[in-house]
Amino acid sequence: MTIVRLGYVAMSKYIKNASPSQTMTFKQFEKIRDREAAIRKLERIALDNLHNTSRILKHNAASDIFFYRLTSRLIPLANHEELPDWNYIKPLKEKLKEIGEFVQRHQMRVDFHPDHFVLLNSVKEEVLKNSVKTLKMHYLLLKGMGIDPEHRCVMHVGGNYKETEKSLERFVDNWMVVPSAIQKMIMLENDDTSFTLDDTLFLCEKLGIPLVFDYHHHIVHHKTENWAENWVRILQTWKHSNLPVKMHISSPKDNEKIRHHADYIDIDMFFDFLKEINGTVPQIDCMIEAKQKDAALFKLIKQIQLRDDVKMINGSTFELK
């Protein structure tokens, strides 16, 4: 039987005044005449974001939640072109280490999902360079936490540029200039408009990248195509990973906005998927992408606890019978 572990993304609906994504624009930075004072302010914001991350992680541990997506916006202006000499990791070392020790003590799985502007198949060299710089920031954050960066960063394939085959080929070409340590950090996700499950599997199989299956994306992209025919191939992309297979679960907001994430998870939709994969894998980690964040997780768990086809393990983990 398969163990299912639930997680959620970045923000908590229960911990007040705890945004881990506080920011500062470059325009605001420029208004501070003393450059050193402006940099110190950036560092204070980043430390505050890490403090709030610690608060959320403690909330997770107290709530039996052991799977969590860190925000990619922990350090404002980390890779800004006007701040090339700012060593943003140095003032954060102590706090990063503290977070990493907490995560490992509670055996949590944490990872990142960089923003949409990280495009490894970009037609522009500058965009590719900036994308690699941003991925390096994620790598340094994980290393600062003492967490093995391997398979901790999920991304979309990138831009389609109205030519799917060439865009996939460009990803392969550009992959060769990505440092190997950063390559090992990457997982790829199928999306809802540009790159199908088949497209993403092509890259994952060719380049040895784990595929994070997004069930909602697949349904709205295809509506009828049977994903289960490719399930064994999806699992095979994880054969060299030390982490459990990961997927994304979300539900359409409504019939008109089917691509938008709903506040909560449709339990019937979720279990349609789980019934298909039960017994095919020892454990699967399901990242909830819902507007209500941990509140969506708690609501889903309450509904799951009423079912007779599961055995609860803890507050966010259950076994399918």
Query: 76: Cβ–Cβ under 8 A, 6 or more apart, which residues?
Result: 22, 23, 24, 42, 45, 46
SS3 call for 24: coil
- CA distance linking residue 179 with residue 181, whole number of Å: 6
Cβ density class 57-79: b for 16+ within 10 Å, e for less: bebbbebebbbbbbbbbbbbbbb
The CATH number that domain 3-320 falls under is 3.20.20.150
Q: Model's pTM, two decimal places?
A: 0.96
Q: How high is the mean pLDDT of the chain?
A: 95
- Do the beta carbons of residue 150 and residue 109 sit within 8 Å? no
Cα dihedral value 288, 289, 293, 294, nearest 10: 0
- Poorest-confidence range of 47-51, 167-171, 224-228, 281-285? 224-228
Q: Phi then psi for 156, rounded to 5 degrees?
A: -80, 160
Helix (H) / strand (E) element for 319: namely strand 317-320
pLDDT, average across residues 97-117: 97
pLDDT of residue 224: 52
Residue 258 pLDDT grade (very low, low, confident, very high; cuts 50, 70, 90) = low
Residue among 134, 176, 273, 157 at smallest CA distance from 215: 273
pLDDT of residue 253: 74
Query: Taking the domains of the chain in order of start, what are their residue ranges?
Result: 3-320
Residue among 257, 285, 281, 286 at smallest CA distance from 269: 286
Tokens at 221, concatenated: 């992209």
Residue 193 pLDDT grade (very low, low, confident, very high; cuts 50, 70, 90) = confident
Q: How confident is the model over 135-168, as pLDDT tens digits?
A: 999 999 999 999 999 999 999 999 988 899 999 9
User: For the range 129-132, what are the long-range contacts, defined as Cβ-Cβ under 8 Å and sequence gap of 24 or more?
Assistant: 130/79, 132/177, 132/178, 132/179, 132/182
pLDDT, average across residues 28-43: 96
C-alpha separations of 237 from 95, 188, 244 in Å: 34, 10, 11
Residues β-bridged to residue 51: none
